[in-house]
Amino acid sequence: MFLSVFDVFKIGIGPSSSHTMGPMSAANRFLDLILSPDWPRPKGAAIASIRVSLHGSLAFTGVGHGSDRAVILGLMGERPDKVDPDRMDEIVGLVRATGRITPAGHPSYAFQPKEDLVLDKKTPLPGHANGMMFSGYDRDGRLLLKRIYYSVGGGFVVTDTELETMRASKAQASERKVPFPFSSAKQMLEMAARSGLSIAQMKRANEETAMSREELDAGLDQIWAAMTNCIDRGLKGEGIMPGGLKVKRRARMIHDKLQEEWRSNKTNPLLANDWLSVYAMAVNEENASGGRVVTSPTNGAAGVVPATIRYYLHFHEDADAAGIRDYLLTAAAIGGIIKHNASISGAEVGCQGEVGSASAMAAAGLAAVMGGTPEQIENAAEIALEHHLGMTCDPVGGLVQVPCIERNALGAVKAVTAASLAIKGDGTHFVPLDACIETMRQTGVDMNERYKETSTGGLAVNVVEC
Ligand code: SF4
């Protein structure tokens, strides 16, 4: 099994990797398919109009997550990593006003969002909670092309047949041959012991089967640049976040207070916690506002990893760029194992799979840059994940704001504590990471659907929206 660090950390837009980036990528795939020779079409027939339906969790919380806008943007040829967040309203407005989809390199297609983009809450698709159906018709209304896609978490999108193959073979994004093909924490530790390499070194060797060292380092630096820019933008943002809940952005105000404390040399026994929290909240407020973020491993959980890296730069004297690369590689190794054996999707296993996974990845990354052995790193990831087990996904109003923003702050604090606890031990511990991941998977299977990103249970129904 191989999942690239660039599959785990993807630059995109908020507020949700599965509900915003996924639908946009699915629309991109359908557009690409229309032009490809990979489907049989009657002679002379051409697609003249498009219809899309969103199902399951995407239908229930799609509007709050901007899934409808993401589909329109994707059909207009915009890609999650390239779209300019400042132009999105204009593009969506154009489609709504003209009823036409006009992607570059394509003819124009009829598409009236009000009729042709359906949120179907009654008919879940069988493969996954986040289902999408794209259909193309000729000018006489005859169906020419239909595809089902699933957004399976972290911005990953697969067709129904790819999903079946993936499940049958437990394959991930790639079957690439790599020198260290670990698919469990146990295998990872055995390979580390045999090779004498760190987890980051093994992950690096795997990545370098497809790119040069320079390309890998440049890509990792780009990921970190996008993360740290997101923190900086988030620390400057003010006002109310979109969606109707009227939740205020708080990161800037907290940051101002922390800077004031710093300047006046005031003692703050919770200094590290406060900085971790404000960094994480800055990212998630930016995400909730539809800004540029990096999946880590998802958008909803995008604050934990950047916050703990900024914490590392802020509080660890020997922190440097090489350390950040090792951190990202180690965190991606843990994220890949979790995704392979359980899930990183709130719609599949609740928030334990999103913020829980992010916290485990961050704890592992931090333990690595603190000089931890592979066993200590595995221990750190396990501690962080264990103490998120059972956590549900119940965003109020279907928006990635409450409880998501503060939850990232707490995920970051737990990650630092987990890394610190693990580093103080010798790596031996009671619950193996693999057992913890399997527990998360089983808990997710048993979890009532109300708590899996449908906003029909938990906080989502007990907080009055104003
Ligand atoms: S509650 Fe957790 S899983 Fe659900 S949307 Fe928020 S961050 Fe994502």
CA of 175 to the centre of ligand 1 (A): 30
Strands 49-56 and 117-120, bridge-based pairing: parallel
User: What single letter denotes the amino acid at residue 294?
Assistant: V
Third-level CATH fold of 185-461: 2-methylcitrate dehydratase PrpD (1.10.4100)
Q: Which of 393, 405, 447 to mutate to test the pocket of ligand 1 (most atoms within 8 A of CB)?
A: 393
Residue 466's pLDDT band, with cuts at 50, 70 and 90, is low
pLDDT at 100: 98
Task: Give residues with Cβ within 8 angstroms of 229, minimum separation 6.
Answer: 292
Kindly state the average pLDDT of the residues 323-339: 98
- How many Cβ atoms sit within 10 Å of the Cβ of residue 354? 38
Ordered by start, the domain boundaries in the chain are 17-169, 185-461
Task: Give residues with Cβ within 8 angstroms of 125, minimum separation 6.
Answer: 55, 56, 131, 132, 133, 148, 150, 160
Residues 21-60: pLDDT tens digits? 999 999 999 999 999 999 998 998 999 999 999 999 899 9
Are the CB atoms for 17 and 299 separated by under 8 Å?
Answer: yes
Angle between helices 185-195 and 321-341 in degrees, nearest 10 = 140
Say if residue 386's pLDDT is above 90: yes
Q: What is the CA radius of gyration of the chain?
A: 22
pLDDT at 266: 85
Are the CB atoms for 340 and 1 separated by under 8 Å?
Answer: yes
Of the two residues 174 and 178, the one the predictor is more confident about is 178
Residue 61's pLDDT band, with cuts at 50, 70 and 90, is confident
Kindly state the average pLDDT of the residues 301-321: 97
Kindly state the average pLDDT of the residues 424-438: 97
| 253: nearest Cα among 268, 269, 235 | 235
Nearest CA owner, ligand 1 atom 4: 393
pLDDT at 168: 80
pLDDT at 2: 87
CA of 16 to the centre of ligand 1 (A): 9
Kindly state the average pLDDT of the residues 416-425: 98
Nearest CA owner, ligand 1 atom 1: 393
CA of 41 to the centre of ligand 1 (A): 41
Task: Give residues with Cβ within 8 angstroms of 320, minimum separation 6.
Answer: none
pLDDT at 321: 97
Angle in degrees, CA 68, 71, 72, rounded to 5: 90
Task: Give residues with Cβ within 8 angstroms of 271, minimum separation 6.
Answer: 261
CA of 390 to the centre of ligand 1 (A): 13
Say if residue 257's pLDDT is above 70: yes
Q: Residue 392 CA: which ligand 1 atom is closest?
A: 1
Residues 66-110: pLDDT tens digits? 899 999 999 999 999 999 988 999 999 999 999 999 999 999 999
Say if residue 171's pLDDT is above 60: no
Residues above pLDDT 70, as percent of the chain: 98
Measured between alpha carbons, how far is residue 387 from residues 137, 377, 391, 409, 414 in Å? 50, 16, 9, 15, 8
Kindly give the residue spans of alpha helices, DSSP state H, lying in 267-370. Answer: 271-288, 304-315, 321-341, 346-349, 355-369
**In angstroms, rounded to a whole number, what is the distance separating the alpha carbons of residues 192 and 189?**
5
Residue 464's pLDDT band, with cuts at 50, 70 and 90, is low
Third-level CATH fold of 17-169: 60s Ribosomal Protein L30; Chain: A; (3.30.1330)
Are the CB atoms for 452 and 347 separated by under 8 Å?
Answer: yes
CA of 435 to the centre of ligand 1 (A): 23
Are the CB atoms for 372 and 189 separated by under 8 Å?
Answer: no
pLDDT at 465: 60
**In angstroms, rounded to a whole number, what is the distance separating the alpha carbons of residues 250 and 285?**
8
Are the CB atoms for 69 and 78 separated by under 8 Å?
Answer: no
pLDDT at 166: 82
With H, G, I as helix, E, B as strand and everything else as coil, classify residue 142: coil
Angle in degrees, CA 155, 413, 340, rounded to 5: 35
pLDDT at 369: 98
Q: What is the phi/psi pair of residue 272, to 5°?
A: -60, -45
Which residue bears the tokens 């610190």?
420
Ligand 1: residues with CB < 6 A are 300-301, 346, 351, 354-355, 393, 395, 400, 403-404, 407, 453
Averaged pLDDT score across all residues of the chain: 95
Measured between alpha carbons, how far is residue 136 from residues 34, 58, 79, 236, 373 in Å? 8, 20, 20, 43, 54
Q: What is the phi/psi pair of residue 235, to 5°?
A: -75, -15
The H or E element spanning position 431 is none
User: What single letter denotes the amino acid at residue 69?
Assistant: R
